[in-house]
Amino acid sequence: MFQLLKMKDKYLLIAGVVFLLIFVLSISGCLNSEEKENKTTENATDANNTIISEKDVKITKSVRVGFENLTPTGKVQINVGDVYVYHVWDNSLNAILAKKASSSPEICDMAEADVSVYVDEIKRINKSDYYIVRFEEAEAPYVCYSKDGAHFTKTENTLIYKKQVIGINKDNISNYIYIPTKDAQKPKTESNKTYSNVIRKLNPVTSLFFFSDWITCLDEKRKFIIDEVKERNGKKEGYYVELTVVESEKVNGFDCFKVEQIYEGYSETYNQKNRYFFYIDKNRRIIVKMENYLNAQGGYIPMEKIELKEIRKTK
């Protein structure tokens, strides 16, 4: 299984996360379309937080619909001492194999884990106040099964979601910074159990705490569309995002906007299409559930689901 996860496959996973974050950041601030077209980005970061120069990027197409006359309809509410406990279901390995139309005889169970997120303190950084938010490392074991002739082999594996710490600007909730941690990568699994394969991944719930201001501007009829094409060093790349509030729904006691997002990203080396559902609490304006489906085999394959189990206070 993991021999199939070569660099191209890892980039597929990273690309989905990166372009999701690009979309979140691209509409932060509830800017109208004219203001946003005049706004340029000097630098961006990839999934490893490496700075990528944007000075040589030329935008050849930029269409934005739904950003006119936006006004806040709510406010993001997080508090020091809050602990958010999310349950994660990860089916990305099987989804990637399906996208590749692989004939591999191997299939894996869905990996599952609880991930805890702590709002530790408010800290003064560069003359601004930041919520210091800590995403604890989590271990998600799963079993893979392979067949060789009449023989079946079972292997025990795990995904390790890496610990991360970020700062969220208290007065501008859509601004954030990464904070280095000494124990961001531990040499062993949490349980110190021996697995056949161990993969370390970006923490899956980190993106749920990138609070773009579009979250504060939602209403029952809101719809956003972004269609953008760029040329980077003479090579074309682009993405299309369509985000629609489809209905209201209760999730674990939270009264939520149900938001559907269709994402398509492409370049000369890859093409990807995802379908997301976000369930956003109308009161706190936090994401309490996210579903991610990867387009493969003529349909959408479940790739990942994250659900908020509870909000509690530190003892």
pLDDT band at 99 (very low <50, low <70, confident <90, very high): confident
Q: How many helices (H) and strands (E) does the chain have?
A: 3, 18
Residues 203 and 161: beta-carbon distance below 8 Å: yes
pTM of the model: 0.81
Query: What percent of the chain is modeled with pLDDT above 70?
Result: 78
Mean pLDDT along residues 17-44: 40
Least confident of 26-35, 132-141, 229-238: 26-35
Q: Which structural domain range is residue 214 located in?
A: 7-313
Residues 89 and 129: beta-carbon distance below 8 Å: no
Residue 176 lies inside a defined structural domain of this protein: yes
pLDDT band at 212 (very low <50, low <70, confident <90, very high): confident
Beta strands (DSSP E) in 14-127 are: 43-45, 51-53, 57-65, 82-90, 107-108, 111-125
Measured CA to CA, the distance from residue 275 to residue 264 in angstroms comes to: 9
Residue 168 lies inside a defined structural domain of this protein: yes
pLDDT digits (tens, 9 = 90+) for 148-200: 777 788 999 999 999 999 999 999 988 999 998 776 555 566 677 889 999 99
Residue 265 lies inside a defined structural domain of this protein: yes
Q: What is the pLDDT of residue 105?
A: 67
The number of folded domains in the chain is 1
Mean pLDDT along residues 267-284: 92
Residues 237 and 275: beta-carbon distance below 8 Å: no
Residue with the larger pLDDT of the pair 253 and 21 = 253
Q: Is the pLDDT of residue 16 over 70?
A: no
Q: Is the pLDDT of residue 11 over 60?
A: no
Residues 213 and 172: beta-carbon distance below 8 Å: no
Residue 2 lies inside a defined structural domain of this protein: no
pLDDT digits (tens, 9 = 90+) for 34-44: 333 333 333 44
Mean pLDDT along residues 2-22: 43
Mean pLDDT along residues 38-53: 39
Residue 272 lies inside a defined structural domain of this protein: yes
Q: What is the pLDDT of residue 270?
A: 81
Q: What is the mean pLDDT of the chain?
A: 81
Residue 38 lies inside a defined structural domain of this protein: yes
Closest Cα partner for 23 from 238, 284, 290?
Answer: 238
Q: What is the pLDDT of residue 63?
A: 93
pLDDT digits (tens, 9 = 90+) for 251-272: 999 999 999 999 999 988 888 8
Residue 1 lies inside a defined structural domain of this protein: no
Q: Is the pLDDT of residue 143 over 90?
A: yes
Q: Is the pLDDT of residue 140 over 90?
A: yes
